[in-house]
Amino acid sequence: MCGIVGYIGRKRAKTVLIEGLKRLEYRGYDSAGLAAVVDGHLAVCKSPGRISNLEALLAERPEFAESHIGIAHTRWATHGAPNEVNAHPHLSDDKQIALVHNGIIENYSPLKQLLESKGHVFVSETDTEVLANLIAEFYRTSGTLELAVQQALREVTGTYGIAVLSVREPDRLVVARKGSPLIIGVGQEEYVVASDASAIVEHTANVVYLNDNEMAVINGCGMRTITIDNVPVSKQVEQIEYSLEEIALGGYEHFMLKEIFEQPEAIRNCLRGRLDLREGRVQLGGLEAISRELVKARRVIFTGCGTAWHAGLIGEYLFEDLARIPAETEYASEFRYRNPIVEFGTAVVAISQSGETADTLAALREARDKGALALGIVNVVGSTLARQTDAGVYLHAGPEIGVASTKAFTCQVVVEALLALYLGRRRYMSQEYMAEMMQGLLAIPDQITSVLEQSDQIREVAGKFIDCENWLFLGRGYNYPVALEGALKLKEISYIHAEGLAAAEMKHGPIALIHEGMPVVVVTPACMTYDKILSNIEEVRARGGKIIAVATEGDREIHKYAEHVFYVPDCPKSLQPLLTVIPLQLLAYHAAVLRGCNVDKPRNLAKSVTVE
Ligand code: G6P
């Protein structure tokens, strides 16, 4: 998830582009850049870090001042570290084409090989530079930028929102979209293109929304819209009716809610290009260099903090189940100080959304010092953790802004499942079982969408218990960590005291807490221990507790036991947490809103804890 802006018109392009980037900064913020046609060549300025760094650099580059056409980008890295070289815009090696891109080119690797064989030279690690050179390659023979872009896009698999400039056509901007949003603001003799309307609204409320496989060719006098197969399309100019803040929030009241609802898309991005259904293999490019060592691992230790630690607990079950490797999970803060035994053949997997959590970094260093293979499951590309691991897998979940982690958690579990399948298939797993699991994973995004539809019902239930100051969350097996996560979400943002438990442990102490009217959330989808959980529910009910259950669609029996039921679709047992956690995220969210709490910035908490 990155941000694109393009401008052509009477104003100074640089000013419009920088203002636009600042509006888009919430979409990603690890590096930024700008390109403009200046005196017959493409001038480019890029910088790691936030937009303000780029702005400071541009202040020392007067040549940009007079340009009235340009493109700019704020990056949330997906391929390659967030440094200057990998920042957009990317130029073709002949310096004729500049390109900004939002999305992922899945087949960039074979395209790169092909272009290299034709003599193209690459300087960055990005998929975008491949597209810039592909366009340049076609431009040699096509004659126009428009045709070259069309030809190139027909070769591409993946997603893109792009804006392209060429030195040879200095008054023309070509934009296109597939799977990544692209909006064209139509002003008075000016056009502002952007990946969302927040960069446009201060210039005009008139916009054209491009659909997938559509492109626009814009110059100062007008705009033409066509498909990438060169069929003309007529587009309606529509009106934007949102404020800037509403646009950043995409119509949601809080970033946390937005991120909960983004989970289907985040998981699709996380899976993109990683499941080879034909070969029945999981492809994880970040592990290639160490795959032989990893396959021989005798033991895996997951480590992390908070929500990431909960994801680790699920990883433990996944690895034992699917990869048949002994696995355990340690709090990063404990791992470091307990003089852990790291035997030969141990892989330590550090899990972190930010990649900057001090305890997790320290645990990883400890593991490396003791000779472990150090792996990372990280969202922020180029973060400290990502740089200190031997190898790793990125989440591609997009920036997570709400302090309470939601979409990063489900993507962490998805990556763990991918890793377990990657190893399982290499160690013992049948192709048939692998195929079944792959189909199960691919179905998850749509299944999450169906769970999200219960949001209103979940809000009603949260309302009924809003004055209760103590809650319990129970689960077994794969859903035990989900119970922990449900309780953590509730306490983090609503300040209600909540405890998560392995359901059978309740009778060994916490049962003393149960009193008349106490809400007890039981995560009980169809599984081996379903009947046992029903007994735990009876124990709660006998003491006056009120049961809120998360159950599998079609389970009518559960109504005899629970006051309220949220349903999740059936899926392979090992993937259940990806569905059962969703109602718990929504329950916490609605409870916090009903109690008037600051959902996105809860008291005493920080998004990234960089102190021990
Ligand atoms: C903080 C956040 C939690 C998060 C934890 C780990 O405590 O409030 O939501 O789970 O850090 O963060 P990480 O970035 O390492 O996943």
Report DSSP letters for 203-253, one per residue: T-SEEEEPPTTEEEEEETTEEEEEETTS-B-----EE----HHHHHTTT-S
Quote the percentage of the chain above a pLDDT of 90. Answer: 74
Q: How far is CA 127 from CA 370, 526, 588, in A?
A: 36, 42, 38
Ligand 1 atom closest to Cα of residue 605: 8
pLDDT-derived band at 591 (thresholds 50, 70, 90) equals very high
State in Å: Cα 607 to ligand 1 middle.
6
Task: Give, using CA atoms, the residue closest to atom 2 of ligand 1.
Answer: 607
- Which tokens belong to 56? 């400071």
Peptide bond just before 510 cis, omega within 30 deg: no
Q: How far, in Å, CA of 280 to CA of 434, rounded?
A: 7
What is the atom index within ligand 1 of the atom nearest the CA of 404?
Answer: 9
**484 class by beta-carbon count within 10 Å (0-12 exposed, 13-18 middle, 19+ buried):** buried
> What length is written for the chain?
612
DSSP-assigned letters across all residues of 26-81: GG--SEEEEEEEETTEEEEEEEES-HHHHHHHHHT-GGGTT-SEEEEEEE--SSS-
Give the percent of the chain with pLDDT over 70: 97
CA of 305 relative to ligand 1 center, distance in Å: 6
Sorted by sequence, the CB contacts under 8 Å of residue 515 that are 6+ apart come out as: 543, 544, 545
Catalytic member of 11, 370, 532, 607: 607
Euclidean distance between CA atoms 7 and 20, whole angstroms: 10
Atom 3 of ligand 1, residue of closest alpha carbon: 306
Per-residue burial over 437-453, b = 16 or more CB atoms within 10 Å of its CB, e = otherwise: bbebbeebbebbeebbe
Are 189 and 220 within 8 A, CB to CB?
yes
Distance, in Å, from the CA atom of 54 to the CA atom of 35, rounded to the nearest integer, reads 12
432 Cβ contact list (under 8 Å, min separation 6): none
Residue 24 vs residues 2, 17, 198, 242, 590: alpha-carbon distances, Å: 8, 10, 7, 15, 27
In 3-state terms, what secondary structure has residue 405?
coil
**Least confident residue range of 332-336, 347-351, 484-488, 607-611:** 607-611
- Comparing 195-209, 410-424, 532-546, the range with the smallest average pLDDT is 195-209
Instruction: For ligand 1, pick from 256, 305, 491, 598 the residue to mutate: most ligand atoms within 8 Å of CB.
Output: 305
Per-residue pLDDT reduced to its tens digit, 40-76: 889 999 998 888 899 999 999 999 988 999 999 998 7
Distances (CA, A) of 277 to 273, 435, 436: 10, 7, 10
Determine the distance separating the centroid of ligand 1 and the alpha carbon of 68, expressed in angstroms: 43
**CB 114, CB 155: distance < 8 Å:** no
State which of 405, 407, 599 you would mutate to test the pocket of ligand 1, scoring each by most atoms of that ligand within 8 A of its C-beta.
405
Where does the pLDDT of residue 433 fall: very low under 50, low under 70, confident under 90, or very high at 90 and above? very high
Q: What is the pLDDT of residues 93-120, one digit of tens each?
A: 999 999 999 888 989 999 999 999 999 9
Question: Each residue of 372-390: b (16+ CB within 10 Å) or e?
Answer: bbbbbbbbbbbbbbbebbb
State the angle between helix axes of 407-427 and 263-271 in degrees (0 to 180), rounded to the nearest 10.
30
Ligand 1 centroid – CA 360 distance (Å): 10
**Residue identifier of the C-alpha nearest atom 5 of ligand 1:** 306
pLDDT in tens, 11-27: 999 999 999 998 887 66
Structure tokens at 182: 């692209």
- The continuous run of DSSP H or E covering 299 comes out as strand 299-304
| Between 243 and 542, residue with greater pLDDT | 542
- For this structure, is 571 an active site residue? no
Residues 316, 302 contacting (CB under 8 angstroms): yes
Concerning whether 527 is annotated as a catalytic residue, the answer is: no
Residue 457: its H or E element: helix 455-464
Q: What's the pLDDT at 529?
A: 84
- In this prediction, residue 335 carries a pLDDT of 92
Residue 245 pLDDT grade (very low, low, confident, very high; cuts 50, 70, 90): low
- Which residue's CA is minimally distant from atom 8 of ligand 1? 607
Q: How far is CA 18 from CA 184, 398, 410, 561, in A?
A: 17, 22, 34, 58
Model's pTM, two decimal places? 0.76
